[in-house]
Amino acid sequence: MNKTELKEFLDTKTKEYNNPRFIESDPIQIPHQFRNKEDIEIAGFLTASIAWGNRKSIINNAKRLMDLLDDSPYDFVIHHQETDLEKLQSFVHRTFNADDAIQFIKSLKHIYLQHNGLESVFAKYAETDSMQTAISKFKTVFFEMEHLLRTQKHISDPLKNSAAKRINMFLRWMVRNDKTGVDFGIWKSISPSQLSCPLDVHSGNVARKLGLLNRKQNDAKALLELDKALRKLDPNDPVKYDFALFGLGVFEKF
C-alpha cells in the first residue's frame, strides 16, 4: 500500500473499532462506570496500571479493586484512614499485589493533595509533541513520598527505554475526545497531538506488517518511530490509529 491507501485503510479500521461496542470487551469499561472527573481518572489510572495479561482477568480484577474502594475511588483515595487499607490485603493481579495497591492509593492521595491531581502533573511536564518526558516526571512525583521500592516497577519510565504502554493508554483515555463515546476527553490541558500510541505486542506486530515500524523490540525507540509514522497520517490525532492497530491484531489476527 502507498501512503494514501494505508491512511484510507487505517482510517476505515479506526472507525470500525472506535465505537461504543469496543467498550464491552475492553478495560476502559471500568472508568466508564463513573461520572465524576476524579472518579474516572483514578479508576482509569488504576485499571490501566494492571492492564497486562488476559483482558478478562484485567477487567475482573479492576472491578474487584473498585469494589474494595467502595466504588467511590476518589473519595476513598482522599479520605481513607490506615485501617481502611486493610481490605486491600486480599488484592492481587499477577505481580501487582496488595502492597502495591496500598502504595498506589497512598501515592494518589499525595498527588491530589500536594500536586492538584493527575492531570496537573502530566500537563506540567508535557512537551509540544510528546508526553514521554512527562510520564518519566510523573513517576518521580508519584514516588517522591515514602514508598515501597518494589512498587516502582509498576510505573514505566520512557527515559529508561520503556514504551510505557499502560500509561500511554491511560493518557489516550483521558485526553482524546472524538465524540464516539469511547475515550473520555476530560483532560483539556493536554492535546491529542501530544499523545503516543500504546505500543504492545499486538499493535507492534500489526505496525510492522504495515511498514509503520521496523524496530523489532517494543521499547521507547520503537515508540518514537511509530509516533513519527502515525503523525504523518494524522498530526492532530495520531493515537486514534491505536484502535485500528489493536483491532487488527486482537480481533482479526492480522
Backbone angles phi, psi at 173, to 5 degrees: -55, -45
The answer to whether 22 touches 248, Cβ cutoff 8 Å, is: no
| Residue 216, number of CB atoms within 10 A of its CB | 9
Backbone angles phi, psi at 16, to 5 degrees: -65, -40
The amino acid sitting at 229 is A
Q: Is the pLDDT of residue 1 over 90?
A: no
The confidence score (pLDDT) of residue 10 equals 98
Backbone angles phi, psi at 48, to 5 degrees: -60, -35
Q: What is the mean pLDDT of the chain?
A: 97
CA distance linking residue 136 with residue 1, whole number of Å = 36
CA distance linking residue 82 with residue 103, whole number of Å = 11
The answer to whether 23 touches 185, Cβ cutoff 8 Å, is: no
3-state secondary structure of 188: coil
The confidence score (pLDDT) of residue 97 equals 98
Nine cell digits for residue 55: 483482558
| Residue closest to 42 by CA, chosen among 142, 139, 170 | 170
Q: Is the pLDDT of residue 107 over 90?
A: yes
CA distance linking residue 195 with residue 203, whole number of Å = 15
CA distance linking residue 18 with residue 21, whole number of Å = 8
| Residue 190, number of CB atoms within 10 A of its CB | 18
pLDDT in tens, 159-218: 999 999 999 999 999 999 999 999 999 999 999 999 999 999 999 999 999 999 999 999
CA distance linking residue 203 with residue 249, whole number of Å = 6
* Residues composing the chain: 254
pLDDT band, very low/low/confident/very high, at 253 (cuts 50, 70, 90): confident
pLDDT, average across residues 86-104: 97
Q: Is the pLDDT of residue 103 over 90?
A: yes
pLDDT in tens, 11-27: 999 999 999 999 999 99
pTM of the model: 0.97
Our CA dihedral for 194, 200, 203, 207, rounded to 10 degrees, sits at 80
Q: Kindly state the greatest CA–CA separation across the chain.
A: 60
Sole residue written with cell 482524546: 176
Q: Is the pLDDT of residue 5 over 90?
A: yes
